[in-house]
Amino acid sequence: KLLIKDLKVDEVPLRIYQPKWPPTGKRRGILYFHGGAGTFGSIRAFERICRYIAKKCNSVVVSVGYRLAPEHPYPGQYFDCLNATLYFMRNLEEYHVDPALIIISGDSCGANFATVICQILLNKRDLPKVRAQVLLYPGLQGLDFHLPSYQQNASVPMLFRKLVIYFCFRYLNKEPSVLEDVLQNCHVPESMKQKYKKWISADIIPDEFKIRGYVPQKSTSYKPEVHEAIKELLAITFSPLLAEDSIICQLPESYIVTCEFDVLRDDGLLYKKRLEDNGVQVTWYHSESGFHGILAFFGYGIFSFLSGKKIMDSTVNYINSL
């Protein structure tokens, strides 16, 4: 049912999925950045998701095989995703895509890339405006690893709390010698904690998400050497939740998926609140029994999860409503 084409743009592999039936009008164009902590994952691993979206939404889906860290150093992944997006946006005619219906999407760290690309594109006045961003269990900040979801789901597969920090180090190509200190938030200067408390704090998380064994963190002392070792975690690129309101208020309508059993759940909840506070329309889907990475199993028959299917169907319904 699909025409599938592989090509390279500036050394970056793209796989483009188009429905075989002739378009009755212009189609939606969807960019998809896959998850994998920026260090693993591939176009092939997310083949089933992209095919499903292309068919169910009668859309052109561009899956981006950005080059992985640490071999391809950070922040190269963002440039790869940006270049792929620019290529697509400049060639919409060829794919019969409506410039008013471009959607930027991704899961996990791919949702982080999607968020950052949407923020970068605000400065590019010569390109079509993005219609929506679709963020599936996004990771959006490296400031606080003690949010309720980090505590509650510290040992829940597939993404343990310690593993998040380990992947951050691997992604940024750093020695994980200060891993324990980062777990305790010793990398964040007090001034920064105070400045961003209004956006990133357990106090903002709705109470119903704190019932399951959350204990407020005792304050930990700041260690300048730890900050120096891993300060990239606090850059806007890595932590798009720290972008100023003047940026956030210009962002497109958003769809956010969070999973109950996911250390990154609260990143999604905090971003949802920030967008809404800035007048951006948000559609939110919370999977009560979902866990981080659940979509990696999507379409694998007996190995797939009903919760994953529900997430995909809700996502498809959202895209079709645009």
Tens digit of each residue's pLDDT (9 = 90 or more) over 136-165: 999 999 999 999 999 999 999 999 999 999
Please compute the mean of the pLDDT values over residues 311-315 and round it to a whole number: 98
Query: What's the chain's average pLDDT?
Result: 97
pLDDT in tens, 102-111: 999 999 999 9
Where do the domains of the chain lie?
A: 2-142+240-321, 148-230
- Order of strands, edge to edge, in the sheet holding 97-107? 2-9, 12-19, 59-64, 27-33, 97-107, 132-136, 253-261, 282-291
**pLDDT for position 217:** 85
* Catalytic site positions: 108, 262, 292
| Distance of alpha carbon 53 from the chain centroid | 17
Cα-based distances in Å from 311 to 53, 138, 256, 283, 308: 12, 14, 10, 13, 5
**pLDDT for position 232:** 97
Please compute the mean of the pLDDT values over residues 211-221 and round it to a whole number: 89
Q: Which residues have CB under 8 Å from 165's CB, separation 6+?
A: 145, 176, 179, 182, 183
CB 282 within 8 A of CB 101: no
Query: Does 200 score more than 90 pLDDT?
Result: yes
Confidence of residue 22 (pLDDT cuts 50, 70, 90): confident
Locate 1 and state its tokens: 């049912």
**pLDDT for position 213:** 87
Share of the chain above pLDDT 70, in %: 100
| Distance of alpha carbon 21 from the chain centroid | 31
CB 223 within 8 A of CB 183: no
CATH code of 2-142+240-321, in short, is 3.40.50.1820
Query: Does 218 score more than 90 pLDDT?
Result: no
Please compute the mean of the pLDDT values over residues 129-135 and round it to a whole number: 98
Torsion-angle region of 231 (φ positive above 0: left; ψ -120 to 50: alpha; else: beta): alpha
Nearest-angstrom CA–CA distance, 51 and 1:
9
Share of the chain above pLDDT 90, in %: 97
Nearest-angstrom CA–CA distance, 141 and 271:
10
pLDDT in tens, 227-270: 999 999 999 999 999 999 999 999 999 999 999 999 999 999 99
Strands (DSSP E) contained in 90-217 are: 97-107, 132-136
Backbone angles phi, psi at 122, to 5 degrees: -60, -25
